[in-house]
Amino acid sequence: MVNDVPALDRSFVALSHPIRRGILERLAAGPATVGEATRGFAVSKPAISRHLRILEDAGMIRRAVRGRTHRISLRERHLEDATAWMERQRGLWERKLDVVADYLGEER
């Protein structure tokens, strides 16, 4: 089954929280240190670490460590997988709604 893909599940879990989406939006501009990518979020450092771990587990970010500096960057592949799934769903629902609209147009 196309929908039974653990990586896709992890992608949607990662995208389900506004802080994680915010981090991804910031990384769309390019790699950043953890501090740069998470600045301004009103949560604790342990909470930020959990959000980053979820993004890493989903394969959406990559972390490079140099000394005490952690740089993270966006990995777009899993975002593309989630986008492709949503586009397939959009096409399916658009076709179904077109059938309903045609039916309702004939009923007039």
CATH number, position 81: 1.10.10.10
Model confidence band, residue 93 (pLDDT cutoffs 50, 70, 90): confident
**In whole angstroms, what is the distance from residue 79 CA to residue 83 CA?**
6
pLDDT at res. 63: 96
- Which residue range is the domain that position 73 belongs to? 6-107
Question: For residue 82, is it within any domain?
Answer: yes
Q: What is the pTM of this model?
A: 0.77
- Reply yes or no on whether the pLDDT at 2 is more than 70: no
**In whole angstroms, what is the distance from residue 72 CA to residue 23 CA?**
10
Model confidence band, residue 25 (pLDDT cutoffs 50, 70, 90): very high
- Reply yes or no on whether the pLDDT at 1 is more than 80: no
How many domains does the chain divide into? Answer: 1
Question: For residue 39, is it within any domain?
Answer: yes
- Reply yes or no on whether the pLDDT at 47 is more than 50: yes
